[in-house]
Amino acid sequence: MTRKISDSTVRRLSLYLRILEALEREGIATVSSEDLAGRSGTTAAQVRKDLSHFGSFGKRGLGYAVRDLREHLQRIMGLERRWRVVLVGAGRIGSALFDYAGFRSRGFDIVAVLDADASKVGQRWGEVVIGDSASLEDIIRRHCVDVAIVAVPVEAVQGVVDRVVSAGVRGILNFAPTRLRVPEGVALKDVSLVMELEALSFSLSRHASLGP
């Protein structure tokens, strides 16, 4: 089996999960698809369809048990375990990412930081010492790295990604604004800030006349 699950579904699952965690903290035990839809900006049918790809988690006439559904989603998303992450690039973006507590609290441990700049190598960031990018393959194998966050200049990024992949990493989060080539079976996500801003520019230019 292993049906193809669409990207948009996956994004919504991640959102549902966050909402369920909040509900749980508030001590709410049960939630309907209607309610979950309201909180996630989608429709009740969409919520039910998204969940239905993985099983039947609700009770008819009642809704979903918050804790139970949260646990299911966590398992579905592969978040019942922790992931080992290498951060390549200790510049501004890398540094902000390293300090972002949200990663650790959601199961992603940055176990190593690497940079090509000799003046950065050896610096201590909290628990980790910045290593030399030359040792990339070594570090990945030694730390059993699962995921690479790549925050290096656009000229360097394809080279880094090739090495990371050949060292066995199958999940990559890229911050450089290029279309990267990765082999089949490697999951790649891009975060392109410029692309997002340009999309805003496009919207603003088109709907200029729709004022309040």
Partner DNA sequence: AGGTGTGAACACTTTCACAGCA
Partner DNA sequence: TGCTGTGAAAGTGTTCACACCT
What residue ranges bind its own copies (CB under 8 A)? 2, 5, 7, 10-11, 13-15, 17-18, 39-41, 76-79, 83, 92-93, 95-97, 99-100, 102-103, 106-108, 146-147, 170-173, 177-179, 181, 183-185, 187, 189, 191-207, 210-212
Q: Indicate the residue among 99 and 198 with the shorter CB distance to DNA.
A: 198
Interatomic CA distance for residues 128 and 109, integer angstroms = 11
Question: Distances in Å between the alpha carbon of 19 and those of 73, 173, 196?
Answer: 11, 24, 24
Residue 34's binding partner, choosing from DNA, its own copies, none, with beta-carbon cut-off 5 to 8 A by kind?
Answer: DNA
Residue 61's binding partner, choosing from its own copies, DNA, none, with beta-carbon cut-off 5 to 8 A by kind?
Answer: DNA
Chain center to CA of 179 = 18
What amino acid occupies position 29?
Answer: A
Q: Are 158 and 190 in contact (CB under 8 A)?
A: no
Using the structure block, give the residue that is written with the tokens 């393959």: 137
Helices (H), 54-172: 66-76, 92-99, 101-105, 136-142, 154-166
Question: Which positions lie near DNA, rule CB under 7 A?
Answer: 4, 6-9, 32-34, 42-46, 48-49, 51-52, 56-64
Q: Indicate the residue among 92 and 124 with the shorter CB distance to its own copies.
A: 92
Residue 125's binding partner, choosing from DNA, its own copies, none, with beta-carbon cut-off 5 to 8 A by kind?
Answer: none
Q: Indicate the residue among 123 and 134 with the shorter CB distance to its own copies.
A: 123
